C-alpha cells in the first residue's frame, strides 16, 4: 500500500513522472488504489506540494513552504512537530493537528513565528506516513457503539469497531487489552474505523512479548522477509581453511545473529596478521535493484525476544551463510597488519574460504584471563583447547590494546546494568553490532563478545576510511563521546562523587575523572545509570564523499562486519563485495592492475572504480530514504528493548507487593522522586502526594524536594527505606512509599 510519503519520495528521486510511470513505481494496478492515488495527487496539488510540468509530469514544488517533521505528543496534550538537524520544534495546537497522531510523519506549515522563548506555531497540512497501523486499546461501549480507546494517552482519537467486537469489552480483573488494526484513519468529520485482531490478557505473563512488540509497532514475524538465497558463482578466493579461525559467541539462543570469525597469524618479527572473516551475506542476498528493499519493509534489524531472536533475514539465507564448526565456508574478509605494538600499519579486503576451528565461549575467556600463569594449563576448560591457547591469548591481548587506544582518544566505558531476571539474559549480553550508544561497554572476561567488539570496531573504522578515500557512499555513525560534564550536572550528582572536584577553567570536569571520584560500588552503579542519560541515541547517517564543513572533523564508523544483524551492515558489506568483483583495477588498455582493496591504493587511482550500472545499484541503497527507514525501525527496536525490560521488572515487583527494601534516589522531579531498589535492580516512584507529613517544594537548581515546615529534603543519592505499594503493567510503573 502506498503512502503520501512514498509518492513524494518517488517524485523527489526523478525529474518528473507522468501518471502511468508513477503508478508503476508505486506498484498500483487496482482501480480502487488508483482512485485513492487520484485523491492524494489532487490534494497535494491544492496544497502546492506538487505540480505538473509542461510535459504533464508530476514534480515536487521547489519553493515549498512546508516542513517535514514528526509529531510528538505528551500525555498532557501538548504537541510539537519535531524537525531534523536539531532545528527548533514547532508547537501544534490540538485543533490544528488534523488527526495526526504521535509519531506520524507530516508536512507542517508555520503560521506564527517564534519569539523570545516561545516556539513557532504551525498547522499540519498533510500526513505523509502513519506510524501506528496497529493500536493497543481497551474496548469500551459509548452510546451503544463499540470503540477502541488507545492505551497510549498521547493518541488523541478513538476508533469505532464493529458490533461483534463488543465481546472484547475491557474487564479490570482480566486486564484484556486488544490489538486493533486500522481500516480507516479519522478524517474530516468521519470517525476512524478498525477491527480487533487479537486479545491480550495482561494477567497472562506469556503474552508480554506480543504486548510490547505491538506497543512498539513491530510486527512479530516468522520468515516474513523471505528471500531465496542466491547460488554462489565460482570466484577466485584465498583458501585459509587450513588456518585456525575462532568464533566468539556469548549469545545462548540458537537463532541469535550470526557472528564473524577472528584469525591470527603470528610472524617471526613479532608483527601480526589479524583477519576478520565475515559471513558472505551480500553474495547470498539479491540487492541489485530498487525492488529488493521492499523485502525488508517489515524489519531492518534483528531483535532479541524473551526466548529467542527475531531475525531480519529468513532462516534459509542464515543457514547457508553461518559458520559451523569444522565446515568450510565462503567469507568476505579483512586482513589487518599489526606491528609489535599492535598498531595497524596496513589492510586489505579479500574473498576467502575459511573453516571454524573453535567456538570460543565466555567460559573460555574467563578461564584464560583468570589463570595465574600462562605457562601452566590446569583448567578443565582449557586442556581440551590447549593447541589454540597461544592464538587466543594474542587475540585477547590485541583486543585489550585496541580498547586502550580508544579510551586514550577520549571514548568512555560504562558497565552494562546488572540483570537479575533470567528471561532477560539475552538482552544484557554485549551486542558487538551496537553503535547507537555514545559509549563503550567494558571488556569483561565473563562475556567473550566484549572482546570481539574492539576488533570489529577497528574493522568498521577501516571501511569508512577506505570507502571515503575512494569517494564511495556508506551508511554509518558519528563516533560520539562525552568528554566533559557541565558543572551544573555535577552538582546534581554531588552525593555520588563527593567534594574533591578539580574543574578546568571552563568549569568542567573530565568524564573519566568524574567516574573515578565515586568510590562506593552501589553509588557508582547508580551514577553509571544517571550518566547514560547524558548520551543521546546515535542514528545512522548517510556518509558521502562530500562531507559538510562541520562534519569533516568528526570521526565516522561504517559497520559491515555483522551483516546478519541489520541492513546497515549488509549494504556496507555489499559495497565491499562489489568493489572486489566489479571495481575497475586499471585504466582502459593498461595492463598494470592496482589492488584497489589495499590501504592507500586510492593514491594511485584517478578513475571511477564503478561503471554506471553498479553505481546505480549502490545509489539505490545509499540514499536518505533508506537511511530514514533504518533509523525509524532502529528507534522502534530500542523502544521495544527498553519496554520489555521494564515490563519484566514490573512483573518481579508485582510478586513482592508490600515488601520493604532500601534504595537510592535516582532523580527528583516536582511530582516526586525515583528510587532504585538495589537488591532487585528495579526503579519505582515515590509520589509527592504520599509525603503527607509536610508540603514539599521542588527546587530544580539543587534538584531536590524540601519540606516547607520540617526542612526535610530528598535529593539524588539519598539512601532511604521504601515499600512496594502498587504496580501498573500498562505503564510499566512501580509505585513506592517511604517506610
The verdict on residue 214 lying in a domain is: no
**Residue 187 belongs to domain with CATH number:** 2.40.50.700
Q: Contact 299/633 with Cβ under 8 angstroms?
A: yes
Q: What is the pLDDT of residues 211-268, one digit of tens each?
A: 999 888 888 766 566 778 888 999 999 999 999 999 999 999 989 999 999 999 998 8
Burial label, 573 (beta-carbon count in 10 A; 0-12, 13-18, 19+) = buried
Q: Contact 726/647 with Cβ under 8 angstroms?
A: no
Is a pLDDT exceeding 60 seen at residue 591?
yes
Summarize the confidence of residues 311-326 as an average pLDDT.
Answer: 93
Instruction: Retrieve residue 55's grid coordinates.
Output: 510535459
Is a pLDDT exceeding 50 seen at residue 344?
yes
Residue 489 vs residue 24, higher pLDDT: 24
* Cα 468-470-474 angle, rounded to 5 deg: 40
Same domain, 585 and 732: no
Q: Contact 674/665 with Cβ under 8 angstroms?
A: yes
Summarize the confidence of residues 501-505 as an average pLDDT.
Answer: 62
Determine the Cα–Cα distance for residues 518 and 494; give it in Å rounded to an integer.
Answer: 10
Determine the Cα–Cα distance for residues 600 and 250; give it in Å rounded to an integer.
Answer: 36
Q: What is the pLDDT of residues 643-653, one digit of tens each?
A: 999 999 999 99
Is a pLDDT exceeding 50 seen at residue 168?
yes
| Closest to 323 in 3D by CA, of 349, 353, 355 | 355
SS3 434: coil
Is a pLDDT exceeding 90 seen at residue 480?
no
Instruction: Retrieve residue 661's grid coordinates.
Output: 527494601
Name the residue range of residue 681's domain: 656-738
Same domain, 374 and 474: yes
Share of the chain above pLDDT 70, in %: 91
Is a pLDDT exceeding 90 seen at residue 505?
no
- State the pLDDT at residue 488: 53
Same domain, 256 and 343: yes
Cut 0.85: pTM above it: yes
The verdict on residue 646 lying in a domain is: no
Is a pLDDT exceeding 60 seen at residue 507?
no
Sheet order of strands, 696-699 included: 696-699, 704-707, 713-715
Summarize the confidence of residues 134-154 as an average pLDDT.
Answer: 93
Instruction: Retrieve residue 68's grid coordinates.
Output: 517535514
The verdict on residue 194 lying in a domain is: yes
Reported as type and span, the H/E element at residue 626 is helix 624-654
> pLDDT category, 605, cuts 50, 70, 90?
very high
Give me the DSSP letters along 645-689: HHHHHHHHHHTTTT-EEEEEEEEEETTEEEEEETTTTEEEEEEGG
Q: Contact 128/68 with Cβ under 8 angstroms?
A: yes
The verdict on residue 211 lying in a domain is: no
Determine the Cα–Cα distance for residues 441 and 431; give it in Å rounded to an integer.
Answer: 9
**Residue 734 belongs to domain with CATH number:** 2.40.50.140
| Closest to 540 in 3D by CA, of 571, 508, 504 | 571
Q: How far apart are the first and last CA of the chain?
A: 56
Count of other CB atoms within 10 angstroms of residue 243: 17
Instruction: Retrieve residue 377's grid coordinates.
Output: 594449563
Integer CA distances (angstroms), 431 to 272, 417, 565, in order: 26, 14, 10
Instruction: Retrieve residue 626's grid coordinates.
Output: 533508506
Integer CA distances (angstroms), 314 to 113, 277, 459, in order: 50, 21, 26
Q: Are strands 660-669 and 696-699 parallel, antiparallel or unpaired?
A: unpaired
Domain limit, last residue, from 100, 129, 158: 129
Determine the Cα–Cα distance for residues 216 and 212; give it in Å rounded to an integer.
Answer: 6
The dihedral built from the CA positions of residue 74, 76, 80 and 85, taken in this order, carries a sign that is negative
Count of other CB atoms within 10 angstroms of residue 365: 26
Count of other CB atoms within 10 angstroms of residue 655: 9
Share of the chain above pLDDT 90, in %: 56
Reported as type and span, the H/E element at residue 398 is helix 389-408
Q: What is the pLDDT of residues 518-527, one digit of tens each?
A: 667 777 777 7
> pLDDT category, 700, cuts 50, 70, 90?
confident
Q: Contact 348/598 with Cβ under 8 angstroms?
A: yes
Determine the Cα–Cα distance for residues 726 and 650; give it in Å rounded to an integer.
Answer: 10
- State the pLDDT at residue 678: 83
Same domain, 297 and 359: yes
Helical H runs in 130-262? 208-215
Q: Are strands 121-129 and 704-707 parallel, antiparallel or unpaired?
A: unpaired
Same domain, 442 and 569: yes
Same domain, 54 and 123: no
The verdict on residue 644 lying in a domain is: no
| Closest to 570 in 3D by CA, of 427, 433, 426, 431 | 433
> pLDDT category, 289, cuts 50, 70, 90?
low
Residue 578 vs residue 413, higher pLDDT: 578
Instruction: Retrieve residue 612's grid coordinates.
Output: 554506471
The verdict on residue 210 lying in a domain is: no
| Closest to 634 in 3D by CA, of 422, 440, 405, 477 | 477
Same domain, 492 and 551: no
Count of other CB atoms within 10 angstroms of residue 65: 13
Integer CA distances (angstroms), 52 to 10, 41, 44, 564, in order: 14, 10, 11, 43
- State the pLDDT at residue 492: 59
Instruction: Find how far residue 649's CA is from the centre of its chain.
Output: 22
Burial label, 437 (beta-carbon count in 10 A; 0-12, 13-18, 19+) = middle
- State the pLDDT at residue 377: 66
Same domain, 102 and 186: no
Per DSSP, 499 falls in state S
Determine the Cα–Cα distance for residues 148 and 170; give it in Å rounded to an integer.
Answer: 10
Summarize the confidence of residues 100-124 as an average pLDDT.
Answer: 91
Q: Contact 63/99 with Cβ under 8 angstroms?
A: no
> pLDDT category, 487, cuts 50, 70, 90?
very low
Domain limit, last residue, from 532, 564, 597: 532
Instruction: Retrieve residue 354's grid coordinates.
Output: 575459511
Is a pLDDT exceeding 90 seen at residue 296?
no
> pLDDT category, 514, cuts 50, 70, 90?
low
Q: 44 CB contacts (<8 Å, ≥6 apart)?
A: 4, 7, 8, 50, 126
The verdict on residue 649 lying in a domain is: no
Per-position b or e across 112-127, b if 16+ CB within 10 A of its CB: eeeeeeebbbbbbbbb
The verdict on residue 230 lying in a domain is: no
Q: What is the pLDDT of residues 623-671, one digit of tens each?
A: 888 898 899 899 999 999 999 999 999 999 999 999 999 998 888 999 9
- State the pLDDT at residue 15: 79
Q: Contact 351/239 with Cβ under 8 angstroms?
A: no
Same domain, 582 and 525: no
Same domain, 470 and 510: no
CA dihedral 124→125→129→131, nearest 10 degrees, is 20
Report the range of poorest mean pLDDT among 248-252, 404-408, 440-444: 404-408
Residues in a beta bridge with 486: 508
| Closest to 214 in 3D by CA, of 182, 186, 184 | 182
Summarize the confidence of residues 63-88 as an average pLDDT.
Answer: 85
> pLDDT category, 166, cuts 50, 70, 90?
very high
> pLDDT category, 549, cuts 50, 70, 90?
very low
Domain limit, last residue, from 203, 222, 249: 203
| Overall number of domains in the chain | 6
Same domain, 377 and 457: yes
Is a pLDDT exceeding 80 seen at residue 180?
yes
Summarize the confidence of residues 417-430 as an average pLDDT.
Answer: 90
Reported as type and span, the H/E element at residue 72 is strand 67-73
Per-position b or e across 666-694, b if 16+ CB within 10 A of its CB: bbbeeebbbbbbbebbbbbbbebeebeee
SS3 4: helix
Same domain, 547 and 604: yes
Helical H runs in 502-566? 511-516, 521-532
Residues in a beta bridge with 145: 142
Instruction: Find how far residue 637's CA is from the centre of its chain.
Output: 6
Q: 613 CB contacts (<8 Å, ≥6 apart)?
A: none
Determine the Cα–Cα distance for residues 494 and 715; give it in Å rounded to an integer.
Answer: 10
* Cα 277-280-284 angle, rounded to 5 deg: 175
Determine the Cα–Cα distance for residues 57 and 55; give it in Å rounded to an integer.
Answer: 5
Q: Contact 153/138 with Cβ under 8 angstroms?
A: no
- State the pLDDT at residue 515: 65
* Cα 472-473-478 angle, rounded to 5 deg: 125
Amino acid at each position: 500500500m502506498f503512502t503520501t510519503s512514498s509518492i513524494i519520495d518517488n517524485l523527489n528521486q526523478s525529474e518528473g513522472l507522468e501518471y502511468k510511470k508513477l503508478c508503476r513505481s508505486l506498484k498500483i494496478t487496482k482501480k480502487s488504489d488508483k482512485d485513492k492515488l487520484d485523491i492524494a495527487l489532487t490534494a497535494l496539488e491544492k496544497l502546492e506540494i506538487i505540480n505538473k510540468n509542461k510535459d504533464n509530469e508530476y514534480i515536487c514544488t521547489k519553493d515549498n513552504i512546508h516542513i517535514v517533521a514528526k509529531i510528538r505528543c505528551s500525555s498532557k496534550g501538548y504537541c510539537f512537530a519535531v524537525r531534523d538537524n536539531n532545528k527548533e520544534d514547532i508547537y501544534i495546537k490540538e485543533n490544528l493537528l488534523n488527526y495526526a497522531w504521535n509519531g506520524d510523519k507530516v508536512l507542517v506549515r508555520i503560521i506564527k513565528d517564534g519569539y523570545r522563548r516561545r516556539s513557532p506555531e504551525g498547522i499540519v497540512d498533510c500526513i505523509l506516513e502513519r506510524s501506528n497501523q496497529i493500536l493497543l486499546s481497551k474496548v469500551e461501549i459509548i452510546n451503544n457503539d463499540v470503540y477502541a480507546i488507545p492505551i497510549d494517552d498521547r493518541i488523541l482519537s478513538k476508533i469505532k469497531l464493529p458490533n461483534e467486537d463488543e465481546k472484547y469489552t475491557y474487564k479490570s480483573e482480566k486486564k484484556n487489552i486488544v490489538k486493533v488494526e486500522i481500516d480507516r484513519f479519522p478524517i474530516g468529520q468521519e470517525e476512524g474505523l478498525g477491527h480487533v485482531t487479537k486479545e491480550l490478557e495482561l494477567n497472562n505473563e506469556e503474552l508480554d512479548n506480543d504486548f510490547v512488540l505491538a506497543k512498539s509497532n513491530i510486527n512479530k514475524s516468522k520468515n516474513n522477509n523471505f528471500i531465496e538465497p542466491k547460488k554462489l558463482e565460482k570466484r577466485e578466493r584465498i583458501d585459509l581453511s587450513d588456518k585456525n579461525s575462532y568464533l566468539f559467541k556469548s549469545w545462548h539462543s540458537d537463532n541469535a545473529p550470526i557472528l564473524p570469525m577472528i584469525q591470527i597469524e603470528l610472524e617471526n618479527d613479532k608483527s601480526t596478521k589479524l583477519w576478520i572473516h565475515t559471513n558472505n551475506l551480500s553474495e547470498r542476498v539479491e540487492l541489485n535493484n530498487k525492488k529488493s528493499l521492499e523485502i525488508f519493509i517489515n524489519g531492518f534489524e534483528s531483535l532479541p525476544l524473551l526466548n529467542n531472536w527475531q531475525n531480519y533475514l529468513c532462516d534459509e539465507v542464515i543457514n547457508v551463510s553461518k559458520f559451523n564448526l569444522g565446515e568450510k565456508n565462503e567469507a568476505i574478509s579483512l586482513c589487518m597488519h599489526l606491528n609489535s605494538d599492535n598498531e595497524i600499519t596496513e589492510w586489505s579486503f579479500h574473498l576467502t574460504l575459511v573453516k571454524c576451528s573453535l567456538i570460543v565461549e565466555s567460559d573460555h575467556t574467563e578461564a584464560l584471563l583468570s589463570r595465574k600463569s600462562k605457562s601452566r594449563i590446569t583448567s578443565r576448560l582449557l586442556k581440551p583447547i590447549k593447541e589454540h591457547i597461544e592464538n587466543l591469548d594474542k587475540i585477547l591481548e590485541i583486543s585489550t590494546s585496541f580498547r586502550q587506544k580508544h579510551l586514550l582518544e577520549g571514548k568512555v566505558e560504562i558497565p552494562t546494568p546488572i540483570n537479575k531476571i533470567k528471561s532477560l539474559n539475552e538482552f544484557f549480553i554485549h551486542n558487538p553490532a551496537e553503535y547507537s550508544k555514545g559509549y563503550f561497554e567494558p571488556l569483561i572476561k565473563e562475556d567473550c563478545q566484549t572482546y570481539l567488539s574492539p576488533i570489529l570496531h577497528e574493522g568498521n573504522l577501516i571501511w569508512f576510511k577506505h570507502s571515503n578515500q575512494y569517494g564511495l557512499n556508506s551508511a554509518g555513525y558519528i563516533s560520539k563521546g562525552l568528554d566533559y560534564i557541565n558543572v551544573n550536572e555535577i552538582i546534581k550528582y554531588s552525593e555520588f562523587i563527593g567534594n574533591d572536584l578539580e574543574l578546568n577553567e571552563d568549569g568542567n570536569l573530565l568524564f573519566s575523572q568524574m567516574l573515578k571520584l565515586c568510590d562506593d560500588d552501589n553509588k557508582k552503579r547508580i551514577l553509571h545509570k544517571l550518566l547514560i542519560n547524558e548520551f543521546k541515541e546515535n542514528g545512522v547517517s548517510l556518509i558521502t564523499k562530500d562531507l559538510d564543513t562541520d562534519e569533516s572533523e568528526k570521526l565516522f564508523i561504517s559497520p559491515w562486519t555483522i551483516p546478519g544483524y541489520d541492513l546497515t551492515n549488509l549494504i556496507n558489506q555489499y559495497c565491499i563485495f562489489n568493489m572486489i568483483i566489479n571495481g575497475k583495477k586499471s585504466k582502459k588498455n593498461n595492463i598494470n592492475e592496482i589492488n584497489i582493496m589495499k590501504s592507500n591504493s586510492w593514491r594511485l587511482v584517478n578513475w571511477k572504480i564503478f561503471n554506471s550500472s553498479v553505481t546505480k545499484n549502490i545509489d539505490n541503497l545509499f540514499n536518505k530514504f533508506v537511511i530514514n527507514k533504518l533509523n525509524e525501525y532502529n528507534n522502534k527496536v530500542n523502544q521495544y528493548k527498553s519496554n520489555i525490560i521494564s515490563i519484566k521488572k514490573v512483573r518481579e515487583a508485582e510478586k513482592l507487593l508490600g515488601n520493604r527494601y532500601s534504595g537510592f534516589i535516582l532523580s527528583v522531579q516536582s511530582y516526586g522522586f525515583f528510587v532504585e531498589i538495589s537488591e532487585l535492580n528495579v526503579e519505582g516512584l515515590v509520589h509527592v502526594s504520599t509525603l503527607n507529613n509536610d508540603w514539599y517544594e521542588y527546587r530544580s537548581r539543587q534538584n531536590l524536594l524540601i519540606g516547607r515546615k520540617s526542612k526535610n529534603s530528598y535529593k539524588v543519592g539519598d539512601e532511604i527505606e521504601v515499600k512496594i505499594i502498587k504496580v501498573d503493567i500498562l505503564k510499566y510503573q512501580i509505585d513506592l512509599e517511604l517506610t
